[in-house]
């Protein structure tokens, strides 16, 4: 089972040898078994990959994430669907009723808001109780848009004078980097479970190939928020670019821990368990089957 990620910030030459990814840099060579690798972040413009390696990554289910000139993740390569019940799972996903999809979205939104409450507590901010009360009011399909109301309150508690729309703020750069990586992990897990990532529960953009990933990633986002907060603390608006250490920290977000189904797991494993449980929830027509990550609200000592 894949359990590690690879983040490349220096000029590298990547190739394939004996089902291993071979990373050649100026200071030497490293080899990693592809069966152990879940994701690779290509965070240097002077990195080359062989076609045989890319094909092998697809065969092993490795998500390959590419960044742009600003070192922000901008694209992902995923394998075509290789699940042994691909057609069966896809048919059931397409046939899922509107009421079931609304109740699944309700579960996702509630879990997200509850994790936002735990995130505030984890960084010694107030407001957790208010968010938990808001989570209780989320109805099927979230018709009152409690998710947006909770988000406005949450960001104001996490950081003062913070605007999520300000892409130049270092805090948003950290968040966007981490969100892109965890979204890629979720997309990878959905594909591995036989689900079609373009067909969402709530998200339904005709130009988005990852609508379902954007649904399922919601409860995972607060984990990224805590990780970003621990890079900047209470912080203030900053136009600084992300350092290599910033990017390395956010690229490793899938190795963070969560509670799911009574177990302590990495976010990578949790994304796989969540995707598998989503298939069972669709087949059983019951949102109660869906397993979602839970953020530990242990207070920060930072």
**Which residues on adjacent β-strands are paired with residue 29?**
24
Which residue, chain included where needed, has tokens 């998200």? 203
CA angle 239, 171, 249 (to 5 degrees): 115
Confidence at 283, pLDDT banded by 50, 70, 90: very high
Predicted local distance difference test score (pLDDT) of residue 2: 87
Q: Is the pLDDT of residue 300 over 50?
A: no
Predicted local distance difference test score (pLDDT) of residue 236: 78
31-89 tens-digit pLDDT: 999 999 999 999 999 999 999 999 999 999 999 999 999 898 999 998 876 677 888 99
Six-digit token pair at 71? 């070192």
183: left (phi over 0), alpha (psi -120 to 50) or beta: alpha
Domains for the chain: give ranges and CATH numbers: 4-77 (3.100.10.20), 86-289 (1.20.120.920)
222-276 tens-digit pLDDT: 999 999 999 999 877 888 999 999 999 999 999 999 999 999 999 999 999 999 9
Q: What are phi and psi of 39, to 5 degrees?
A: -150, 150
Predicted local distance difference test score (pLDDT) of residue 302: 39
Quote the longest CA-to-CA distance of the chain: 57
Spell out the alpha helix ranges (H) of the chain: 51-60, 86-95, 98-122, 128-136, 146-158, 170-192, 211-216, 221-232, 244-251, 267-284
Secondary structure of 272-294 in HEC code, one letter for each residue: HHHHHHHHHHHHHCCHHHCCCCE
Predicted local distance difference test score (pLDDT) of residue 161: 87
163-201 tens-digit pLDDT: 999 989 999 999 999 999 999 999 999 999 999 999 999
Q: Is the pLDDT of residue 154 over 50?
A: yes
Long-range contacts of 257-260 (CB under 8 A, 24+ apart): 257/296, 258/223, 258/293, 258/294, 258/295, 258/296, 259/293, 259/294, 259/295, 259/296, 260/291, 260/292, 260/293, 260/294
d(Cα 133, Cα 136) in Å, to the nearest integer?
Answer: 5
Six-digit token pair at 211? 């609508």
Six-digit token pair at 175? 């968040």
């Amino acid at each position: 089972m894949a359990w590690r990620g690879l983040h490349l910030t220096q000029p590298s030459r990547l190739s394939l040898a004996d089902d291993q990814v071979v990373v050649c840099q100026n200071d030497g060579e490293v080899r990693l078994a592809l069966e152990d690798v879940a994701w690779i972040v290509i965070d240097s413009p002077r990195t080359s990959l062989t076609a045989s390696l890319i094909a092998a990554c697809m065969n092993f289910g490795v998500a390959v994430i590419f960044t742009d000139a600003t070192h922000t993740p901008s694209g992902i390569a995923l394998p075509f669907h290789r699940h042994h019940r691909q057609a069966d799972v896809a048919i059931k996903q397409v046939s899922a009723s509107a009421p079931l999809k609304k109740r699944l979205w309700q579960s996702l939104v509630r879990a997200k808001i509850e994790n936002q409450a735990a995130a505030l507590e984890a960084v010694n901010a107030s407001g957790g109780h208010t968010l938990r009360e808001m989570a209780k009011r989320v109805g099927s399909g979230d018709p009152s848009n409690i998710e947006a109301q909770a988000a406005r309150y949450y960001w104001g508690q996490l950081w003062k004078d913070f605007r999520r729309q300000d892409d130049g703020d270092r805090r948003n750069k950290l968040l966007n980097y981490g969100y892109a990586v965890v979204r890629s992990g979720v997309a990878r897990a959905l594909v591995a479970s036989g689900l079609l990532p373009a067909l969402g529960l709530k998200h339904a953009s005709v130009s988005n190939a990852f609508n379902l990933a954007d649904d399922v990633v919601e409860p995972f986002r607060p984990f990224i928020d805590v990780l970003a907060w621990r890079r900047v603390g209470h912080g203030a608006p900053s136009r600084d670019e992300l350092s290599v250490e910033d990017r390395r920290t956010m690229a490793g977000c899938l190795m963070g821990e969560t509670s799911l189904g009574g177990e302590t797991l990495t976010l990578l494993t949790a994304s796989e368990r969540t995707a598998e449980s989503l298939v069972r929830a669709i087949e059983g027509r019951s949102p109660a089957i869906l397993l979602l990550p839970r953020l530990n609200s242990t207070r920060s000592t930072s």
